[in-house]
Every structure is written in C-alpha cells, then in structure tokens.
Amino acid sequence: MMISRRSLIGSAALAATLPRAAARAAAPGIKLGVLTDMSGTYSAETGKGSLTCTQQAVSEFMAAHPGFAVEVISADHQNKPDVGATLARQWFDRDGVDVIVDVPTSSVALAVNTVVKEKNKVFLVSGAATPDLTGKQCSPNTLHWTYDTYMLGRSTGEAMVKSGGDTWYFITADYVFGHDLQDSTTLFIKQGGGKVLGASAYPFPATTDFSSYLVRAKASGAKVIGLANAGTDTQNCVKQAHEFDIVSGQTRLAALLMVITDVHALTLQASHGLVLTESFYWDLNDRTRAFTKRVLAKMPNGFYPNMIQAGCYSATLHYLKAAAAMGAAAAKASGAAVVERMKKMPVEDDVFGATTIRDDGRHLVPAYLFQVKTPAESKGPWDYYTLVATTSGAEAAPPVASEHCALIKS
Amino acid sequence: MVMIFGVPAPLLLGQILLGLINGAFYAMLSLGLAVIFGMLNIINFAHGALFMTGAFVAWMLLHYAGIGFYPALVLVPLIVGALGVLLERTIIAPLYKIDPIYGLLLTFGVALVIEGLFRNGYGSAGLPYEIPASLSGGAQLGFMFLPTYRGFVVLAAAIVCFATWVTIEKTRLGATLRAATENALLVRAFGVNVPRMITFTFAGGVALAGFAGVLAAPIYTVNPDMGENFIIVVFAVVVIGGMGSILGSIVTGFALGVIQGLTSVFYPEGANMVIFLVMAFVLLVLPRGLFGKVA
Amino acid sequence: MRGDVRKPSHDYLVGFLCMLACIVIAPWVLYPLFLMRVLCYAIFVMAFNLLAGYSGLVSFGHAAFFGMGAYAAAWSAKNLGISAEVAVAIGGLAGAALGVVIGWLSIRRTGIYFAMITLALAQLVYFFCVQVPFTHGENGIQQVPRLKLFGAIPLNGSMAMYWFTAGVFILCFLAVHRIIHSPFGKVLQAIRENEPRATSLGHRTKTYKLIAFVLSALFSGVAGGLLALVFGFATLESVRYTTSGEVVLMALVGGFGTVFGPLTGSLVLSAMENYLASFGSWVTVAEGAIFIAAVLAFRRGIIGEVMAKLKVSL
C-alpha cells in the first residue's frame, strides 16, 4: 500500500497536467509484481533473488525492445495467505499490476491464484510446489513454471530405486506440502518395485531437532531416508544425519526439495553425497553459465541463482515476449489472452533452453538429478553438483488431470 | 529383541537418551527464565531471541575474529549478559512495579526487534557452524550412535544447571538475592545495592541463554528463527515446573525432553503438542506447577 | 488495563457519530478490502477487550476462537448453501462452543496463569486443526464464496461486501457496548477490581467470568467467520499463536478497556503491516519497537492517552 500511495500521488500529478484519456493512452506499460517471502523461512531460496532475476529479464527485454515500458514492484507476503491475497487485490485494483511472479508457499499461491483468475490477470508461479495449481485449481490465468512435488518425487524417487535404494523411510513435514511430496515419491518407489517401510510426520513448523526421527529411520533398516520437507528443516535434517552417523553402510539420504542455496548454507562438508533434483543449475551448459554470469553481480550476497529464482527470469521473459507480440494494451486488457498466447509460443531462453507449455498451464521443464560433490571434487565457488540423470519435461510433469482441470478438453 | 509396546527396546532407549539431550536445552533456557521470573517478576519473552543472539555471536566471533568454540563458551555469555544489562537498565527496570503482563508484552517486542534485525542482516537461510574438531566423532553405544558433541552438551548443561541451583539456593549471595525479592527495602537497609543486584540477576539469566546458544550453534543451523522455535516450549516448561522455581525448571526441562522423545516414537505428529497437553493438565490439577510454592 | 465505565456520555455519542462518519467515507478514500480487514480485526479486538479490558482476564489463546470461527464459516459457506449472515453466525457459534470448553477450564486461574493456560489450550486447538482433514492443513479451505446477504443480495462486489462487514461491525460494537453498560458488565468490572469482595456481595463470580469468556469467544468467532468470507479462505494462520499475539498488540496500542481502542489498534497495525510490506523484515522490527514504545510510553493506548489528555470518556 506504500506503493499505492506513491502511485496515487503520481497519477494525481498526471491528471492535473493531462486530460484523463491522454493520461491513460500515454502509459500503456506493463507492471510486474514480485510477491514473495522476503523475510521468512523461504526468503533465501526465493526473496530478493527472485526479484533480482525478474528485474534481469525486464532489463534484458527492454534493452532489446526500447520504447516498451515495463515496471517491477515487489512485496513480502510473510507466508500468510491473507496478506498475500490482500496485496494481490490491491496491486490489481489500485496499482495497475498485470502480472504476479514467484509466490512461494503453496497456501499463499493458491489464495493468489483465486484472485488472479477473478481479476483476469496473469500469475507466473515459480516458488510454489503444489501440483493443484495445474490440477484441481488450474486456471486459464496461471502458469506453473519451475517445479512441483510430482517432478521432485519422480526424479529423485525413480533414480534412487534404480540405483538399489528400494526400501524407504520418510521424514515428513506434517503439512500438505510434505505429504504431497511423500505421496508422489511413494508412487514411483512402488512403480520401481521398491517398498516404503515407514514414515515419521513431524510437527511443522517449530521442530528443530530431528535426531529422534533420524535414529528411528535408521533403525527401520531402510536403505533410503527420504526428507519430505524444505528450507531450514531440510538443512537441519542433513546436518544432524551427518552428526549421528546416519549416512553410513547402506543408508543414504534423499533430500526431496533442496536447492543450491541450501547446499551452500550447509557447506559441502555436511551435504556431500546427497542426491537432489533441480530443474536448473548454473553450471549445466554454456547458456546457463552465460545467464548466471549476467545476473550474478546483482544477486543478494553474491549467491548463485537456484531453479526458483532462475525460473522467475525465464517466466518473465516469456511473458514479455508474448505481451510485446500482442501489444501492451491488449496484454493489459486480458490476462487469459496473454497466457493463451504464451502457451502457443515456443519458450526459449538461457535458463531452460527450448521448452513448451501444456494446456493446463504446466511449463514442461526437464528435471535434473544431481549428486552433491565432496569438498575435494569441488573446483571453484558454487561448484557443487554432478549431474546424475535427466527426466524429460513431459515425464517430469504430472499426468494431465482432465477430470480435475476444465482447461483440458478430453 | 525385546519389544516395548511394539517398539524395539534399543530404539526406545535411544529415544530416551535423545530426549535428555533436547531436555538439556529446555533446562538451560527455562532455568534462565525461572531465575529472571523468580527474582524480577518479569516474564522474559525475549529469552529465545537472546538464545539465538548467543548462537549468532558465536558465529560472528568465529567468522570475523577467528575465535573458536571454547573461548566462545566464555565470551558469548559475557557479551549477551552485557546486552542484558543494557536492556534491564534502559527498558525493563521501569516495569517492576506494574502487572507482569506488561513485562511479557515489552519483552515480546524486544524479541521481535532482535529477530527482525538479524533477519535483515543475515537472512533466514542459516549460517553453518562446525562442531569443534576435538568433539567430533562419536561412540557406538550398542543401542545407538551417540555423537561426542551431544554427550558434551548434556554434561555441560548438567554442570551449569547444578552450579546455578547451588548459587541461588545454597550460597550467601543466593540467600541475599532471595531476601531481596521478598523484601527489597529491608535488604537495602542492610547496605545491599538492590537495583544493581537485580541488574546482574537479569544479566545472569540472559547469559545462560547465550551459553545455550553457543552449545546449540553446532547442532542447528544458526538462523534467526531458532529462538522462536524454542521459546513457546520453554515457556511451557517453566509453567509446568512452577514459575520461578529453579529446581522445577531443571527437572521439568529434562523430563519434558524425554516425554517428547518418547512421543516422537509412538505419535510423531504430536511431539510438540504433548508438552501443551501436559501443561494444561498440570495447571488444572496443580495450579502452581509441579515445584511451585503455594501462594 | 482498566476501563472507566460511566454512563454513556455526550463525548461518547460524538465519538460514535465520528466513527460512523469515518466508516461511511472511508471506502472512497482507502482501499475497501484493506478496510474490511481492519473492521474484522476490530471486532476481534473488541471481543478480546471485553475479556481483558473489562474483566481483567488477558488471554493468550484467542486465535483459537477466531480460527475456529473462520473454519466453521468457510466450511459451511462452501458446503451448506446458506446465506452470508448465517455463515457468519455459524462462525460465532463455533467460537462460542469452543469458548464454553476452554473458558470452563481456564477461568479457574487468573493473571499470568490464565494467560498461560489459554495459550496451552489454544495450541491444542491448533494441533487439532493441523490434524483433521476438513481444514485442508496448510493449504486451508480455499475458494470460499462470499454468498448472498439474506439469500438475495450478492456480496461479490467490494462495496457490497464492505457495507455488510461495516454492518456486522456496528452491530457487534453496539452489542459489546450494551454488555459493558448492563448490570452484568458492572459486576464484571467489580470482579476485576476486587474478586473476593464481589463474591462476598453474593455474585457467583465464576459464572460471570464464564459468560464473559463465552461472549468474547462468540464475537471472536464472528470476526473470524467474517474474515473468511471477505478473503474467500480460512487458513492455519488464523489459529496460530502469532494471531493471538497480534490481537493483544492491537488491544494494547488502541487502549485496554476503551470503547474506541479496538478499531484504532486494528487500523494502526493493519496499516503498518500493509504499508511496510515492501520493507521485508523491517516490519517485524517496527512492530517490536511499537510494542516497546506502547508499554513504556503510552500504556493506556492511543485512545486511553487521548481520553486522559482531553479528559473525556471514549
């Protein structure tokens, strides 16, 4: 609302100097709002880094299309759905925002999803993981860009079973995201002929000590301990597993949602040998390296971008291409029309390469299975991953849920 | 294999030991709270934030000054204690005469400020702090693997708790302190500088939180939320033990750690809630807590 | 935390009319959705204040009633095909029902022990909400329709919903006012000032306190239910202990035991949360600083200080 006050003053000044119609015609710019966790549990994985990557896409695009006005604003949703929905409504109603980007935390993303659909704007999801965004709650105004729990479960689960990890024990954050992650992974463990021996669902948030769950998991004799959680919880699990000598003999850890920012926080000493899935890694190929080089100097704390942040760049860039092709006025008029256009256009950028978008709004990106390097293997700053396997974009996305999503014509 | 309620006995033994380790943190933190409440009648909601500050200061000492774990064990409580002196002198002292609810509200505000500042400065990602080399590794106890460092934590916590209890209950200094809380005017008449004593009591209680923070740094990722996660549980420990009771908070701290450990075997989802269940139950049956004095 | 309750005065009437005027003008100046949030929280703070300001029982677990009201209203709005005012009433009833249980357990204690036991019980309620399927865990109950008022007037538009919210607020305001100035309210204040004396005068203090508690829970439930309709969802956030803390802060900033304090406190804090949203964690720092300043410098709250300055009763 701070923004709204400023724009109010701005528009009052405009109205004083120009006739109303002229004022409207003079500013057909696109306005993006990065709505993210700036201060909470997920702020390191999203937050200012997501904002920086979004701004990077805008500045690159504006350099190529001078005269096309784009503005970026941001706000902290504090991981509260009511704060997120209020900000979204406010942005649409008063600040002329056309697109909302990122929005980590499933509950907030789902709340924002409803508002975006009602106002016919555009929602580019990079931070949230719930497959409901392209399933039960799919919307003609929403694109799910970077990853979901299905992708994580499939990539990590399948690969672990294939490499002999056929018995599992889960340590699960006791909320929807954790259970989603556990369920989708379980699906692929069973498909691969593996077995789940048990699971401990721990209270979320406010659990800091995981040793009793880890010891329990080890005692179950499972070959793989699956961590169905995120952020600092995952970090603590990994750290404590290291301490309690859990990863020894046959037992391995699988962090089901972990990004490079977490690995950096943990250090290689504590996290080496871990297997995890991301859809982007800065050192994947020449193009990802080129992107990282461009954005790195602007990133907060000099952190390298992870898949969520890089996803914000990719989604924003593609949106701007579609909006420019339609003309800013048409793009502002109907969010659903832009999303429709985005689905038809081939996606092409340095982050994900050439990709496509499915009718239900799922952006099909390949999932990469990485193993975290040992300190000895790491050759330079942020040289953390070895690529183990790749799942194609089509396979990494959940099956089209035509019975749930009305966008799918069966 | 021996089974207890369908759970192998070694696993259960392991959980009891792990519970004691967690209980060590509960005991140290609730001890500081109890000292402060018992002597000052202030419910220090900022205790968790100061615990977190302790962990951060340990990290800063290492990161900026190259000062390692063992010196930090001494330095950090001093630094956090000094912060406590500052807090007590400036904003807490004016509250002694009014309803303790205001003390709770004020320190809640202090906690928000401290946490917000650290979040701004260092983000929420968490900073690594390695276990000192001399305490790494561990021992195979047969029923579980016990990391040396965790053993060290329990030992250090037990010593600190015992020392605090002795100081307050058995020494002359402690006697004066307790007398001062009963009747400040009278103690003053004997030539004791009561306000200064109160300041140092607060600093001491807070230093305990700082000490616990250093011990916690190598176990948990050092992050601004670590205090918030503890404070509500520690509150419950103090209430169950009997507010202001030193012995009560020590015993309850360890005991609740064990109860929590056992719950996490049988019903992991309820591991945090069991504490509130106990708290509600105790408050209804024994209004002054397990060890509280009857008013 | 004492509220002087004399006869409704001239000052009070002027204050009430000013408030009405503000409520009518506000949606043309400020953003309606923001105002609806302010009004919902104002009802919640009034409910809390009824207990804390007038009965002297400071609860740290009021989020339980607020959250239960939100869940109950959201669920019935989605599944029962009722009209808006019924959904809000169901929210209130859910809050009250929970209030009977928690109140019965907790009013045996006073002061800090009362605060702690309400906190413990509210944490158990939170746990219940995490575990039962109908709340949909962390995702919450989403896409709750705003329904129709009296089954006829659709509330989808911002303004329609705003008038409905404002109407509920004014009803609650008048109801709370009526309660405080009734003989029942006088006894409550007598209990707050000196419980043994109230007992010796022949009042069954336990019953009075329980009724006050249940009424407070009822209004909290109404606030929660209304908020669920306004935003279209009910989530765990509304049952979390931080929400309990927020309502205490709002009451403190506005002024314990004042009639216009709740609206003021809700307005100030909601505005801060919104206007400072782009500053990230500085919001937390600012909130903390306000807490400290409020306790040290204006313990009577904004309205309380104004009352003292102007020597009026608001």
Residue B77 has pLDDT above 60, yes or no: yes
Q: How close B185 comes to chain A (CA, Å)?
A: 43
Residue C168 lies in a domain: yes
Q: Which helix (H) or strand (E) holds A8?
A: helix A2-17
Say which residue, B276 or B8, is predicted with more confidence: B276
- Residues of chain C neighbouring B281 (CB-CB closer than 8 A): none
Task: Find the Cα–Cα–Cα–Cα dihedral B176, B180, B183, B187, rounded to 10°.
Answer: 60
Task: Give me Rg for the CA atoms of chain B.
Answer: 19
- Residues of chain B neighbouring A40 (CB-CB closer than 8 A): 124
Q: Which helix (H) or strand (E) holds B116?
A: helix B100-122
Q: How close C288 comes to chain A (CA, Å)?
A: 15
- Cα separation, C105 vs C124, in Å, equals 13
Q: How many CA atoms lie within 13 A of A225 on its CB side?
A: 31
Contact assessment for residue A311 and residue A279, using Cβ atoms and an 8 Å cutoff: yes
| Neighbouring chains to C with at least 3 Cβ pairs closer than 8 Å | A, B
Residue A16 has pLDDT above 60, yes or no: no
Instruction: Specify whether A244 is located in the same domain as A383.
Output: yes
pLDDT tier for residue A14 given thresholds of 50, 70 and 90: very low
Q: How close C245 comes to chain B (CA, Å)?
A: 9
pLDDT tier for residue A18 given thresholds of 50, 70 and 90: very low
Task: Give me Rg for the CA atoms of chain A.
Answer: 21
Residue C170 lies in a domain: yes
In sequence order, what DSSP letters do the residues of C78-127 get, joined into one string? HHS---HHHHHHHHHHHHHHHHHHHHHHHTTS-HHHHHHHHHHHHHHHHH
For A268-281, how does the pLDDT look when each residue is reduced to its tens digit (9 = 90+)? Answer: 988 888 889 999 99
Residue A249 lies in a domain: yes
Contact assessment for residue C234 and residue C73, using Cβ atoms and an 8 Å cutoff: yes
- What pLDDT is stored for residue B2 in this prediction? 62
Q: Which long-range contacts (CB under 8 A, 24 or more apart) does C16-25 make?
A: C19/C260, C19/C263, C20/C170, C23/C166, C23/C169, C23/C170
Say which residue, B189 or A388, is predicted with more confidence: A388
Q: Which helix (H) or strand (E) holds A277?
A: strand A275-278
Residue A313 has pLDDT above 90, yes or no: yes
Query: What is the separation of C-alpha A401 from the centre of its chain, rounded to a whole number of angstroms?
Result: 21
Closest Cβ–Cβ partner in B147, B221, B233 for A244: B147
Residue B5 lies in a domain: no
Give the β-pairing of A30-36 and A367-372: unpaired
- Residues of chain C neighbouring A76 (CB-CB closer than 8 A): 277-281, 283
pLDDT tier for residue B75 given thresholds of 50, 70 and 90: very high
- What pLDDT is stored for residue C314 in this prediction? 67
Q: Does the beta-carbon distance from A86 to C34 stay under 8 Å?
A: yes
Closest Cβ–Cβ partner in C124, C249, C283 for B273: C124
Instruction: Specify whether A250 is located in the same domain as A331.
Output: no
Token output for B164: 């605090």
Instruction: Specify whether A263 is located in the same domain as A290.
Output: no
- Residues of chain A neighbouring C238 (CB-CB closer than 8 A): 82
Closest Cβ–Cβ partner in A39, A236, A261 for B221: A236
Q: Does the beta-carbon distance from A267 to B128 stay under 8 Å?
A: yes
CATH code of B277's domain: 1.10.3470
pLDDT tier for residue B135 given thresholds of 50, 70 and 90: confident
Interface of C with B (CB under 8 A): 1, 58, 105, 108-109, 111-113, 115-117, 119-121, 123-124, 127, 130-131, 241, 245, 248-249, 252, 280-292, 294-296, 299
ipTM exceeding 0.85, yes/no: no
CATH code of A13's domain: 3.40.50.2300
Instruction: Specify whether A78 is located in the same domain as A223.
Output: no
Residue C162 corresponds to which amino acid? Y
Interface of A with C (CB under 8 A): 1-5, 38-39, 43, 47, 73-78, 80-83, 85-87, 89-90, 93-94, 106-107, 110-111, 114, 130, 132, 137, 174-177, 179, 203-204
Say which residue, A364 or B228, is predicted with more confidence: A364
Tally the domains of chain C: 1
Residue A178 corresponds to which amino acid? G
Token output for A305: 């971008």
Q: How close C35 comes to chain A (CA, Å)?
A: 11
- Cα separation, B202 vs B168, in Å, equals 13
Query: If you average pLDDT over residues B247-261, what whole number do you get?
Result: 91
Residue A303 has pLDDT above 50, yes or no: yes
Contact assessment for residue A64 and residue A24, using Cβ atoms and an 8 Å cutoff: no
- What pLDDT is stored for residue C2 in this prediction? 46
Instruction: Specify whether A60 is located in the same domain as A162.
Output: no
Instruction: Specify whether A223 is located in the same domain as A85.
Output: no
- What pLDDT is stored for residue A307 in this prediction? 96
Residue B26 lies in a domain: yes
Residue C205 lies in a domain: yes
Instruction: Specify whether A237 is located in the same domain as A384.
Output: yes
Instruction: Specify whether A63 is located in the same domain as A117.
Output: yes
CATH code of C80's domain: 1.10.3470
Residue C85 lies in a domain: yes
Q: Does the beta-carbon distance from B119 to C281 stay under 8 Å?
A: yes
Q: How close C260 comes to chain A (CA, Å)?
A: 24
% of chain A at pLDDT higher than 90: 58
Q: Is the peptide bond preceding residue A205 cis, with omega within 30 degrees of 0?
A: yes
Token output for B14: 């392991």
Domain of residue A102: give its range: 2-147+285-364
- What pLDDT is stored for residue C277 in this prediction? 61
- To test the contact with chain A by mutation, choose from B223, B232, B258 the residue with the greatest count of A C-beta atoms within 10 A, namely B223
Residue A405 lies in a domain: no
Give the β-pairing of A30-36 and A70-76: parallel
Residue C35 lies in a domain: yes
Mean pLDDT (chain B, rounded): 86
For A333-344, how does the pLDDT look when each residue is reduced to its tens digit (9 = 90+)? Answer: 999 999 999 999
Q: How many CB pairs under 8 A join A and B?
A: 117
Residue C5 lies in a domain: no
pLDDT tier for residue A77 given thresholds of 50, 70 and 90: confident
Closest Cβ–Cβ partner in C105, C112, C248 for B43: C112
Residue B295 lies in a domain: no
- To test the contact with chain C by mutation, choose from A7, A52, A82 the residue with the greatest count of C C-beta atoms within 10 A, namely A82
- Cα separation, A216 vs A213, in Å, equals 5
Residue B1 lies in a domain: no
Domain of residue B262: give its range: 10-285
Token output for C147: 């329904």
Instruction: Specify whether A200 is located in the same domain as A261.
Output: yes
In sequence order, what DSSP letters do the residues of B7-28 get, joined into one string? EEHHHHHHHHHHHHHHHHHHHH
Show Cβ contacts of residue C155 under 8 Å, excluding neighbours closer than 6 positions.
C84, C146, C147, C148, C149, C161, C164, C229
Residue A403 lies in a domain: no
Instruction: Specify whether A100 is located in the same domain as A16.
Output: yes
Per-residue model confidence as pLDDT tens for chain C (314 residues):
444 544 556 777 888 888 888 888 888 888 888 899 999 999 999 999 999 888 888 898 999 999 999 999 999 988 888 888 899 999 999 999 999 999 998 888 888 788 888 988 998 899 888 888 888 777 778 778 877 778 777 777 778 889 999 999 999 999 998 898 888 888 888 888 888 888 888 788 888 889 999 999 999 999 999 999 998 888 888 898 888 988 998 998 898 888 888 999 999 888 887 777 666 667 788 888 888 988 888 888 888 888 888 877 66
Q: Does the beta-carbon distance from B112 to C252 stay under 8 Å?
A: no
- Residues of chain A neighbouring B116 (CB-CB closer than 8 A): 39
For C26-82, how does the pLDDT look when each residue is reduced to its tens digit (9 = 90+)? Answer: 888 888 888 999 999 999 999 999 998 888 888 989 999 999 999 999 999 888 888
Put simply, whether B279 touches C (Cβ < 8 Å) is: yes
Residue B292 lies in a domain: no
CA-based nearest residue to C304, from C8, C13, C49:
C49
Domain of residue C58: give its range: 10-310
Residue A11 has pLDDT above 90, yes or no: no
Residue C1 lies in a domain: no
Q: Which of A161-165, A194-198, C59-63, C147-151 has the lowest mean pLDDT?
A: C147-151
* DSSP β-bridge partners for residue A200: A171
Q: Does the beta-carbon distance from A110 to C278 stay under 8 Å?
A: no
Closest Cβ–Cβ partner in A1, A174, A176 for C139: A176
Residue C90 lies in a domain: yes
- Cα separation, C263 vs A252, in Å, equals 55
Query: If you average pLDDT over residues A373-397, what whole number do you get?
Result: 93
Residue B245 lies in a domain: yes
Nearest CA in chain B to C125: B273
Residue A16 lies in a domain: yes
- What pLDDT is stored for residue A227 in this prediction? 94
Q: Does the beta-carbon distance from C284 to B116 stay under 8 Å?
A: yes
- What pLDDT is stored for residue A204 in this prediction? 73
CA-based nearest residue to B33, from B272, B234, B181:
B234
Number of H helices, E strands in chain A: 15, 15
**Sign of the torsion angle spanned by Cα atoms B71, B25, B118, A203:** positive
- Cα separation, A93 vs B249, in Å, equals 53
- To test the contact with chain C by mutation, choose from A107, A138, A176 the residue with the greatest count of C C-beta atoms within 10 A, namely A107
- What pLDDT is stored for residue C225 in this prediction? 94
- Cα separation, A131 vs A179, in Å, equals 12
Q: Which helix (H) or strand (E) holds A154?
A: helix A149-162
**A122 phi, psi to nearest 5 deg:** -120, 140
Residue A190 has pLDDT above 50, yes or no: yes
Q: In angstroms, what CA-CA distances link A383 with A17, A263, B292, C122?
A: 55, 11, 56, 47
Show Cβ contacts of residue A359 under 8 Å, excluding neighbours closer than 6 positions.
A343, A400, A407, A408, A409
For A207-257, how does the pLDDT look when each residue is reduced to its tens digit (9 = 90+)? Answer: 778 888 898 898 888 999 999 998 888 988 998 888 888 887 788 899 999
Instruction: Specify whether A254 is located in the same domain as A384.
Output: yes
For A27-62, how does the pLDDT look when each residue is reduced to its tens digit (9 = 90+)? Answer: 568 999 999 988 777 888 998 999 999 999 999 999
pLDDT tier for residue B130 given thresholds of 50, 70 and 90: confident
Residue A242 lies in a domain: yes
- Cα separation, B106 vs C297, in Å, equals 11
- Cα separation, A147 vs A166, in Å, equals 24
Closest Cβ–Cβ partner in A208, A243, A269 for B149: A243
- Cα separation, C284 vs A79, in Å, equals 14
Q: Does the beta-carbon distance from A215 to B144 stay under 8 Å?
A: yes
Task: Find the Cα–Cα–Cα–Cα dihedral C226, C231, C237, C243, rounded to 10°.
Answer: -50
Q: Which residue has the tokens 């006697």?
A: B175
Q: Which of B97-106, B143-152, C129-138 has the highest mean pLDDT?
A: B143-152
Give the three-state DSSP class for B68.
Answer: coil
Instruction: Specify whether A259 is located in the same domain as A137.
Output: no
